[in-house]
């Protein structure tokens, strides 16, 4: 049922009528070859830059001004909306940031320049990223493993839109939440940087280095000579968690999606079990993610999958060393070594021999304790801001859903 005074518009009806390229796709692949990429010039906006309401600035390639001018119909400018032709998810959209004045779309981008006399572009952006529009886009997309939407199909998809004053008010509310998210993210970046800088200074107080074995820790994969559980042995609820790479993130364990081993009491299944005090490190794909199996982990029985290794104390547990090692392994001191030694083409990998060669500071007990005390204090601060960050995201999701759908109306 259409909300009172909301009107349904096709995407092709909300574009700037004074710009002939206000709704257009990127160039054919043959029109922009990798040999024409440069290290500076006009930024090329790739599929990897288009987040779900977020511009991802990490991936950067360029082309010459001359090449961009030859593809002038595929240019896109700061403040304009760019959509993805391909998933995941298909038709996700973001704004080109202000610092990128003129850009060139790659083949899988779609430029949308909104008629700002009738529509608020922030409102339109949120509406495009809403579940109702996403569902439309997926329905008309093609492909099985990866969805793809054509420009013509996209043009005909619809949005129900309130009068401009209400659009602007809704956009203003959502933008306020976005500012809170952005500020919290910036605070977190500063805290991460501060942690890295201080840890580096503390660790440089002792100049020598040693191996993990010299420090009193062994490295092993726990998977030698045994079969993995069969699919029929994996369940959503049982006595032993079957740890996969997705359970180990940059921030430690993530138990949002778990699988368990039903026959975990079997001798074969007991191999590769974690013990309290173990550190887990990923050795394939997303390398160097670290998790610490301490008393706070809610699962007492965990067995590792492939693609990770266990770092375990050779002798009895030493809480100070374990905590120090956890902080050290996530620092650039170790992560830079991991990036340097990693090998592989289709997928980056680390071997046990490489991990055993990693050098760690030969540090006094006093300085080790200083590192742990500082890290504990700043990690507590980081956790607080991460909690705020998650609350902001939940707030935005709920508020956006209510406002964009018209379930919650705004008085103008």
CATH code (residue 403): 1.10.287.1120
78 and 216 housed in the same domain: no
- The total domain count for the chain is 3
Pair of tokens at residue 113:
């320049």
> Degrees (nearest 5) of the Cα angle 294, 295, 299?
90
23 and 138 housed in the same domain: yes
Nearest to 406 by CA among 132, 171, 160, 124: 160
- H or E element: which one contains 102? strand 102-105
Q: Is 273 helix (H, G, I), strand (E, B) or coil?
A: strand
**Secondary-structure percent of the chain, ordered helix, strand, coil, rounded to 5:** 40, 20, 40
In-domain check, residue 1 = no
339 and 397 housed in the same domain: no
358 and 270 housed in the same domain: yes
346 and 254 housed in the same domain: yes
In-domain check, residue 87 = yes
234 and 325 housed in the same domain: yes
In-domain check, residue 329 = yes
169 and 81 housed in the same domain: no
Other CB atoms within 10 Å distance of the CB of residue 344: 11
Strands (E), 244-380: 248-249, 252-253, 260-261, 279-282, 290-292, 302-304, 308-313, 360-361
Asked if 226 and 271 touch (Cβ cutoff 8 Å), the reply is yes
Phi, psi (rounded to 5 degrees) for 131: -55, -35
Give the residue from 345, 362, 379 where a domain finishes: 362
Nearest to 189 by CA among 333, 408, 382, 398: 382
In-domain check, residue 412 = no
Q: Domain limits at 69?
A: 7-161
In-domain check, residue 128 = yes
193 and 247 housed in the same domain: no
This model's pTM is above 0.85: no
> Which residues are CB-contacts of 231 (< 8 A; sequence separation ≥ 6)?
none
The CATH number covering residue 284 comes to 3.90.220.20
**pLDDT digits (tens), the chain, 412 positions:** 456 789 999 999 999 999 999 999 999 888 999 899 999 999 999 999 999 999 999 889 999 999 999 999 999 999 999 999 998 899 999 999 999 999 999 999 999 999 999 999 999 999 999 999 999 999 999 987 888 999 999 999 999 999 999 999 999 999 999 999 999 999 999 999 999 999 888 887 777 889 999 999 999 886 643 445 555 555 655 678 888 888 998 878 998 888 887 655 555 555 678 999 999 999 988 889 999 999 889 988 888 888 889 999 999 899 999 999 999 999 988 999 999 998 887 778 889 999 999 999 998 999 999 999 999 999 999 999 999 999 999 999 999 999 999 898 888 8
197 and 104 housed in the same domain: no
- The pLDDT score that the predictor gives to residue 225 is 39
224 and 276 housed in the same domain: yes
- The pLDDT score that the predictor gives to residue 295 is 87
Nearest to 92 by CA among 43, 149, 143, 167: 149
- The pLDDT score that the predictor gives to residue 4 is 76
- Work out whether the CA dihedral 324, 329, 330, 331 comes out positive or negative: positive
CA atoms within 13 A on the CB side of 326: 24
- The pLDDT score that the predictor gives to residue 399 is 93
In-domain check, residue 215 = yes
Alpha helices in 129-276 (DSSP H): 131-140, 151-155, 164-203, 212-215, 267-270
In-domain check, residue 271 = yes
352 and 226 housed in the same domain: yes
- The pLDDT score that the predictor gives to residue 88 is 82
130 and 178 housed in the same domain: no
In-domain check, residue 93 = yes
- The pLDDT score that the predictor gives to residue 1 is 45
């Amino acid at each position: 049922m259409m909300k009172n005074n909301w009107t349904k518009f096709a995407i092709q009806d909300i574009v700037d009528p004074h710009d002939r390229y206000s709704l257009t796709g990127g160039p054919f692949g043959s029109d922009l070859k990798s040999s024409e990429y440069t290290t500076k010039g006009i930024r090329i906006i790739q599929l990897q830059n288009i987040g779900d309401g977020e511009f991802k600035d990490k991936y950067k390639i360029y082309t010459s001004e001359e090449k961009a001018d030859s593809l002038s119909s595929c240019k896109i400018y700061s403040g304009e909306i760019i959509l993805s032709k391909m998933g995941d998810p298909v038709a996700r959209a973001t704004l080109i940031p202000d610092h990128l004045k003129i850009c060139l779309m790659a083949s899988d981008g779609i430029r949308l320049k909104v008629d700002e006399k009738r529509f608020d572009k922030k409102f339109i952006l949120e509406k495009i990223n809403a579940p109702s529009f996403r569902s439309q886009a997926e329905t008309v997309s093609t492909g099985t493993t990866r969805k793809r939407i054509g420009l013509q199909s996209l043009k005909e998809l619809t949005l129900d839109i309130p009068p401009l004053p209400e659009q602007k008010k809704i956009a203003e509310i959502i933008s306020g939440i976005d500012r809170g998210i952005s500020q919290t993210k910036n605070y977190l970046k500063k805290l991460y940087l501060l942690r890295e800088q201080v840890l580096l200074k503390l660790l440089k107080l002792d100049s020598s280095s040693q191996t993990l074995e010299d420090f009193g820790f062994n490295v092993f994969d726990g998977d030698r000579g045994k079969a993995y559980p069969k699919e029929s042995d994996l369940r959503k609820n049982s006595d032993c968690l079957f740890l996969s790479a997705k359970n180990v993130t940059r921030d430690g364990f993530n138990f949002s999606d778990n699988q368990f081993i039903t026959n975990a009491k079997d001798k074969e299944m007991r191999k590769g079990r974690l013990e309290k005090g173990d550190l887990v490190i990923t050795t394939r794909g997303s390398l160097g993610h670290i998790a610490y199996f301490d008393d706070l982990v809610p699962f007492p029985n965990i067995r590792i999958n492939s693609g990770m290794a266990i770092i375990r104390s050779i002798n009895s547990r030493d809480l100070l060393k374990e905590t120090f090692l956890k902080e050290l392994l996530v620092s650039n001191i170790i992560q830079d070594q991991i990036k340097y030694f990693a090998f592989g083409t289709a997928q980056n990998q680390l071997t046990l021999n490489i991990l055993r060669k990693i050098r760690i500071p030969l540090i006094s007990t006093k300085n080790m304790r200083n590192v742990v005390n500082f890290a504990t204090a700043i990690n507590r601060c980081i956790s607080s801001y991460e909690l705020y960050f998650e609350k902001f995201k939940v707030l935005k999701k709920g508020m956006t859903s209510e406002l964009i759908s018209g379930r919650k109306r705004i008085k103008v």
